[in-house]
Each structure stands twice: as structure tokens, then as C-alpha cells.
Homo-oligomer: A and B are copies of this chain.
């Protein structure tokens, strides 16, 4: 994620998917800001694909919660309120707690699985720690996402991963809009270490609980920040 490869090479992907990828990246990176209006024709010109292709890509993005469509009127980049933030963090919290439990269960099945889980999680945690030392917000946020995503991936639950991805992408919209939302580097490792420990230790209950509390805390910070901002704007 940090160092984009020079060429995508071999893997041929359909124009649909390419268009969707470009759009998604533009949105989660903040290049297309919330509220930005998108029109099919302009996009088809910019992306050099037909309107039909743009359309399917737009529909997919809408499905992913990154844009909204108003019939016969247009598409706009999703604008998220404090309530949306609440929804996203409560949901994320639940999904991660489930994932944490599943990872523990999986690790308890064999020593091979167990050591694999341990290895991946400690690796992600180390990467996060390193990013915190570096101090660059974007990298920290990325490493943070990566750790959480590692837990999800280790759960081996396809639908869970899918739904989680959707939540994550929407959360990225906030991060793109203000990296003051990234917690202080000193706290981050301290926040994640216990969770990883609990999973590695095989304490499912604790792991789930830590997932919930961690996300809830993060969520409350974000919700609070947005509430303030909304109050300021409406004044």
C-alpha cells in the first residue's frame, strides 16, 4: 500500500473493475471530497470508457457505500455525519469481536495454525509500531488498518471480510478528510498490544471484549469530533 508497484503487469482486469478501482481510490484518498458531484458522461470521458461501463462502476461504489445516487439527478460522493460514524464504529466493533473469537478458535485447532496466527499478528503489530516511530499520520493509519484487517483475514470468514471491507472503506473517508483523527502514536501500540496478546494467548472472551472497547473508544472520539464540527457549521 505504501509503495505502489510501477506496473500492474500481467493480471488483466476488466474495464469495469479498473474504473471502479480508480473511483474508489480517488474517494478514499480524498481527491474526490465528500459532497462532490459526479456525472456519468464526464467520468466516461475522463476514464475513457463508455457510459455503460462507468454506470456499473458507479453502482458498485454506491453499493460499497462510497457514493450516493439521487434518481434522475446525479451521483455524489458520500458525506458522512456523526451518526454515520456511530453506525460504522458500532458495526465494526461487532464484526471485529466476532473475528477475534474466530481467530482464537482457529488457533486452538493446531499448533501450525496457532503459530501462523501468532506470526502474522506480531508482524502486523511490529509494522504498526515502526510506523508510529516514523510518525507520519498516513502511514500510521495504514498500518492500523492493516492490523485490524489481518485479524479479519485470519478468521477465514469470507462474508465477514466482505462486510468489514465495506465498513473500513467508509471509515477511510473520514481519515482522508482529516488526519487529526489518527490517534497519538504513543497510544496506538498500547491500545493494540493487549488485543493481540489476548488472541495469541487464546483468550477469546477477552479478545472480543478488547475489540469492542477499542473500537468503541475510537468511535467515540470520532463521533465527538464530528459533533463539534457539525455544531460549528450549523452556527
**Chain A interfacial positions (CB closer than 8 Å to B):** 14, 52, 55-56, 59-60, 63, 65, 71, 87-88, 90-91, 93-95, 97-98, 102, 157-160, 163, 166-167
Contact B91 A163 (CB under 8 A): yes
Smallest beta-carbon distance A214→chain B, Å: 16
The contact sample of 11 A-B pairs, CB cut-off 8 A, is A55-B56, A56-B59, A59-B59, A87-B159, A87-B160, A90-B98, A90-B160, A91-B159, A91-B160, A93-B98, A94-B95
Dominant secondary structure at the A interface: helix
Name the CB-closest residue of B to A96: B94
Q: Which of B14, B88, B160 interacts with A159 by CB under 8 Å?
A: B88
Smallest beta-carbon distance A59→chain B, Å: 6
Q: Which of B59, B94, B95 interacts with A60 by CB under 8 Å?
A: B59
Chain B residues lying within 8 Å of A65, measured Cβ to Cβ, are 159
Cα A158 to Cα B98 in complex, Å, equals: 20
Q: Which of B14, B55, B59, B91 interacts with A98 by CB under 8 Å?
A: B91
Known: A14-B71, A63-B63, A163-B163. A157 touches B90 (CB 8 A): yes
Q: Which of B55, B87, B98, B166 interacts with A94 by CB under 8 Å?
A: B98
Chain B residues lying within 8 Å of A160, measured Cβ to Cβ, are 87, 90-91
Chain B residues lying within 8 Å of A56, measured Cβ to Cβ, are 55-56, 59
Cα A94 to Cα B87 in complex, Å, equals: 15
Q: Which of B59, B93, B102, B167 interacts with A90 by CB under 8 Å?
A: B102
Name the CB-closest residue of B to A52: B52
Chain B residues lying within 8 Å of A91, measured Cβ to Cβ, are 98, 157, 159-160, 163
Chain B residues lying within 8 Å of A167, measured Cβ to Cβ, are 159
Cα A160 to Cα B97 in complex, Å, equals: 15
Cα A97 to Cα B97 in complex, Å, equals: 11
